[in-house]
Amino acid sequence: MTTDKGKRPNSYRAGPDTDGHFGDFGGRYVAETLMPLILSVERAYDEARNDPAFQAELDDLMTHYVGRPSPLYHAAPLSEHLGGAKIYFKRDELNHTGAHKINHAVGQVLLARRMGKTRIIAETGAGQHGVATATVAARFGLPCTIFMGAKDIERQKPNVFRMRLLGAEVRACHSGSATLKDAMNEAIRHWVSTVEDTFYVIGTVAGPHPYPAMVRDFQSVIGHEAKAQMLEREGRLPDSLVACIGGGSNALGLFHAFLDDPDVAAYAVEAAGRGVETGEHAAAIAGGAPGVLHGNRTFLLQDDDGQIKEAHSISAGLDYPGIGPEHAWLSETGRVNYVSATDDEALEAFQLCARLEGILPALEPSHALAHVIKLAPTLPKDHLMIMNLCGRGDKDIFTIADALGVEL
Amino acid sequence: MSTRIEKRFQLLKDQKRAGLITFTTAGDPDPVTFAQILAGLPKAGADIIELGMPFTDPMADGPVIQRASLRALKAGMSVKRTLKIVADFRLNDQDTPIVLMGYFNPIMAYGISEFVKDAAKAGVDGLIIADLPPEEDAQLRLPANKAGLAMIRLAAPTTDDQRLPRVLDGASGFLYYVAIAGVTGTKSAADSHISEAVTRIRAQSSLPVAVGFGIRTADHVAQITNHADAAIVGSAIISEIESRLDQQGRATAGLVDETLNFVQSLASGLSRNR
């Protein structure tokens, strides 16, 4: 089998190929029942993205409903505290619904409408993608069912209630580890049974082609904005980008516009849970191997027999045993650096951000922040760094209180 | 030299009857009990045996087969042990075709070339990989065919006339028609739908057509085999096994016999007027 290890492509932004492959990764690994549907989503998306009317409707909603562009904020107190790089936050937590997930939810629901689908389904981990999808479904009057692991329902109660207020049905998944991977299994099983009228809004840059590329395209607005904002503020490109990564939608959203700018370093921060060496983590690149799950070939946490292992992270949004296939490829080519941060490091970063910046970040970007805390002090003061603050932390206060031993 | 699968469909033709394909998950509820069920299947009426390779995340399967997979994994099953079970079965049965059904990841982890070599050596005749559509299956199909294994393709109600040739091109052994848009062990298809689908496939292919998903009783088997060359029953047999487990999930006395009796009753429904 060919490998892209160490091979430099002409462009890092040209993928995937026509069958949805990023190097050896990606593809369409689904049951035959779904194949015709996947192909029709691909055709519809190809037409939509080349249709100025679709783009205009999307842009209008992004501006007036989502609240884009999100600010690029100079985190001066944090920069000063760490004593190194000049740190900027891309404030995607200020979007409507409080995270970046709304970017691809709007895009996919518009596509569902264009395809004449009358029902929306989605999986969710932290609940941010579920809330975003339920929100856009409500806006367009479409019935919506969200699949969610029973364990995540327990640790993300505010978001579950939010989805129900928005009129969505939240369906608990009890199989396996009862987290995001199992919610995705159930959503796919349900989709196979309802192919005629149902559109599956996938919550990250994973799944069968065209989802990884489509979700990335809808999210890449983050990086395009950040690039223009940085050029306006500083007159040049940033030196580094930092984002957390579960499936990898916010990371790819920030990175993609910069992938062909060789002087811009990119760091994707996986969830190391209790430590990669303990086996209780969600770091698919640091601790996984190539395999096939949920429609694509990518890095997965698995045992020697190819059975999928349960992931662990304090952050429900990162608690997934795989990673988007484009990330697997970006890791193999070496374009993006994949690093990790533990539960404890993320908790510390969360608290530091709250006190210094007056911002409660979600536990997911708290992992990115934990790496910023390690990296920034080693860099000169003229080093420009952008961290994607991709979600707000209100949803996590119960988990954090629990971890800190505080009773609410 | 014709393969075991070809010989078996020829035999069915000679006997002017349709065939029964049974699905059970390898190692469910435990490897010892399973070996007894497996050994008894041909006599109970299984013309072809489909063996599930357990996987943690069986996306195309309903709750019954999901639970069987998890029981088997808990009992220590692996790809290697599944192949050992087949090899042991072959010591006493050289004629009944065995096809392995599963998901691609455990095969990747085993190593594709090692897997096809070891599977052929164990006496496996064909592969059905649920998450490997024609667009992605060359990586397994070509080495499998080279090793003498059939790559059994699936067609579904959503596979339209435009797509069907893609499914048939490269198919071998038999064609597996998925009777419903859904997962295993849930709803059942209408008779008229099966008749139309089988006719549509026969117009484009000379491969035998087996129909599965939602077939639970001898009556269903009779209906399906009015049209198809074989009926595939899985979840209903596994439900039989499951109903005879104690609260700790252990096999109780009579499980093997009752399961085989059920298979016998299914076989009694086969069309014998072909």
What are the pLDDT digits (tens) for B146-204? 999 999 999 999 999 999 999 999 999 999 999 999 988 888 888 889 999 999 999 99
* Closest partner CB to A32 (pick from B107, B109, B155): B155
Do A117 and A81 belong together in one domain?
Answer: no
Cα distance between residue A266 and residue A283, in whole Å: 17
Residues of A in contact with B80 (CB under 8 A): 305
Do A155 and A37 belong together in one domain?
Answer: yes
Pick the range with the lowest mean pLDDT from A119-133, A170-184, A199-213, B32-46.
Answer: A170-184
Q: HSE on the CB side for A276, CA within 13 Å?
A: 14
**Quick one: CA torsion of B235, B238, B242, B243, rounded to 10 degrees?**
80
Cα distance between residue A99 and residue A352, in whole Å: 20
CA A151 to chain B, closest CA, distance in angstroms equals 17
Among residues of chain B, what percentage have pLDDT more than 90? 93
Q: What is the pLDDT of residues B191-244, one digit of tens each?
A: 889 999 999 999 999 999 999 999 999 999 999 999 999 999 999 999 999 999
The reply to whether omega before B106 is within 30° of 0 (cis) is no
How many other C-beta atoms lie within 10 A of the C-beta of residue A5?
A: 11
Residue A1 inside a domain? The answer is no
The residue segments making up the domain with residue A399 are: 69-98+220-403
Q: HSE on the CB side for B145, CA within 13 Å?
A: 12
Q: Name all contacts of B33-38 with Cβ < 8 Å and 24+ positions apart.
A: B33/B251, B33/B255, B33/B256, B34/B72, B34/B85, B35/B85, B35/B88, B35/B89, B36/B256, B37/B241, B37/B256, B37/B259, B37/B260, B38/B85, B38/B89
pLDDT of residue B220: 95
Q: What is the pLDDT of residues B37-67, one digit of tens each?
A: 999 999 999 999 999 999 999 999 999 999 9
- How confident is residue A1, by pLDDT bands cut at 50, 70 and 90? very low
Contact check, Cβ <8 Å, B135/A294:
no
Cα distance between residue B220 and residue B269, in whole Å: 8
Asked whether residue B1 carries a pLDDT value surpassing 80, the answer given is no
pLDDT of residue A284: 96
Contact check, Cβ <8 Å, A29/B130:
no
Q: What is the pLDDT of residues A159-168, one digit of tens each?
A: 999 999 999 9
Residue A384 inside a domain? The answer is yes
Cα distance between residue A44 and residue A61, in whole Å: 20
Q: Which one, of A40, A60, A182, lies nearest residue A117 by Cα?
A: A40
Q: What is the pLDDT of residues A358-391, one digit of tens each?
A: 999 999 999 999 999 999 999 999 999 999 999 9
Do A58 and A192 belong together in one domain?
Answer: yes
- Domain termination residue (choose one: A188, A215, A242): A215
Q: Which residues pair with B209 in a beta bridge?
A: B175
Do A58 and A75 belong together in one domain?
Answer: no
- How confident is residue B259, by pLDDT bands cut at 50, 70 and 90? very high
Asked whether residue A4 carries a pLDDT value surpassing 70, the answer given is no
Cα distance between residue A386 and residue A368, in whole Å: 10
In angstroms, the Cα distances linking B257 to A244, B40, B88, B133, B248 are 55, 9, 20, 37, 20
CB A331 within 8 A of CB A338: yes
Mean pLDDT of A82-91: 98
Residue A102 sits at the vertex; the CA angle it makes with A384 and A43, to the nearest 5 degrees, is 105
Contact check, Cβ <8 Å, B158/A36:
yes
Residue A398 inside a domain? The answer is yes
Do A148 and A295 belong together in one domain?
Answer: no
Asked whether residue A127 carries a pLDDT value surpassing 50, the answer given is yes
- Reading the block at residue A145, the tokens are 């069912």
Regarding predicted confidence, which is higher, A7 or B122?
Answer: B122
The residue segments making up the domain with residue B125 are: 4-267
Residue B274 inside a domain? The answer is no
Measured in residues, chain B has a length of: 274
pLDDT of residue A6: 55
Residues of A in contact with B235 (CB under 8 A): none
- Domain termination residue (choose one: A195, A215, A235): A215
- Which letter does DSSP use for residue B105 in this model? H
Mean pLDDT of B122-142: 98
Q: Which helix (H) or strand (E) holds B79?
A: helix B79-90
Asked whether residue A278 carries a pLDDT value surpassing 80, the answer given is yes
Quick one: closest CA in A to B134, which residue? A32
Chain B, window 3-62: residues with a beta carbon less than 8 angstroms from a chain A beta carbon: 55-57, 59-62
The dihedral built from the CA positions of residue A181, A184, A188 and A194, taken in this order, carries a sign that is positive
Residue B34 inside a domain? The answer is yes
Indicate which CATH number applies to the domain containing B27.
3.20.20.70
Contact check, Cβ <8 Å, B105/A308:
yes
Regarding predicted confidence, which is higher, A176 or A96?
Answer: A96
Residue A14 inside a domain? The answer is no
Mean pLDDT of A327-345: 98
Contact check, Cβ <8 Å, A308/B158:
no
CA B10 to chain A, closest CA, distance in angstroms equals 28
Among residues of chain A, what percentage have pLDDT more than 90? 91
Do A194 and A342 belong together in one domain?
Answer: no
Residue B193 inside a domain? The answer is yes
Do A110 and A204 belong together in one domain?
Answer: yes
Residue A245 sits at the vertex; the CA angle it makes with A241 and A250, to the nearest 5 degrees, is 65
Indicate which CATH number applies to the domain containing A148.
3.40.50.1100
CB A76 within 8 A of CB A374: no
CA A92 to chain B, closest CA, distance in angstroms equals 33
Chain B, window 87-126: residues with a beta carbon less than 8 angstroms from a chain A beta carbon: 103-110
Residue B74 sits at the vertex; the CA angle it makes with B72 and B75, to the nearest 5 degrees, is 65
Cα distance between residue B64 and residue B185, in whole Å: 7
Do A283 and A269 belong together in one domain?
Answer: yes
Instruction: Say how many domains are in chain B.
Output: 1
Residue B272 inside a domain? The answer is no
* Residue spans of beta strands (DSSP E) within B144-254: 150-151, 154-155, 175-178, 209-212, 230-233
CA A195 to chain B, closest CA, distance in angstroms equals 7
In angstroms, the Cα distances linking A380 to A49, A84, A240, A388, B185 are 41, 5, 12, 20, 62
Asked whether residue A3 carries a pLDDT value surpassing 80, the answer given is no
Q: Which one, of B81, B63, B83, B61, lies nearest residue B72 by Cα?
A: B81
Mean pLDDT of A323-330: 98
Do A136 and A267 belong together in one domain?
Answer: no
Q: Give SS3 for B238.
A: helix
Q: What is the pLDDT of residues B62-118, one digit of tens each?
A: 999 999 999 999 999 999 999 999 999 999 999 999 999 999 999 999 999 999 999
CB contact set of A185 (below 8 Å; sequence gap of 6+): A173, A175, A176, A294, B57, B59
Amino acid residing at A261: D
CB contact set of A209 (below 8 Å; sequence gap of 6+): A16, A19, A20, A21, A26, A27, A28, A38, A42, A296
- Report, in angstroms and rounded to the nearest whole number, the Rg of chain B calculated over CA atoms: 17
B181 at interface of A, judged by CB pairs closer than 8 A: yes
Cα distance between residue A297 and residue A293, in whole Å: 7
Cα distance between residue A249 and residue A219, in whole Å: 7
Residue A3 inside a domain? The answer is no
State yes or no: is B240 an active-site residue. no
Quick one: closest CA in A to B108, which residue? A291
Asked whether residue A5 carries a pLDDT value surpassing 60, the answer given is no
Do A202 and A93 belong together in one domain?
Answer: no
Residue A185 inside a domain? The answer is yes
State yes or no: is B61 an active-site residue. yes
Mean pLDDT of A265-275: 98
Q: Which one, of B179, B253, B187, lies nearest residue B210 by Cα?
A: B179
Do A329 and A188 belong together in one domain?
Answer: no
Residue B157 inside a domain? The answer is yes
Mean pLDDT of A248-259: 98
Residue matched to tokens 């096939």: A292
* Closest partner CB to B135 (pick from A28, A175, A181): A28
Q: Which one, of A386, A394, A316, lies nearest residue A350 by Cα?
A: A394
Mean pLDDT of A233-254: 98
Residue B273 inside a domain? The answer is no
Mean pLDDT of A41-57: 98
Instruction: Say how many domains are in chain A.
Output: 2
- Domain termination residue (choose one: A215, A249, A272): A215
Among residues B30, B50, B125, B240, which one is catalytic? B50
CA A305 to chain B, closest CA, distance in angstroms equals 6
pLDDT of residue A7: 64
Do A173 and A73 belong together in one domain?
Answer: no
Q: Which one, of A301, A331, A51, A329, lies nearest residue A213 by Cα?
A: A329
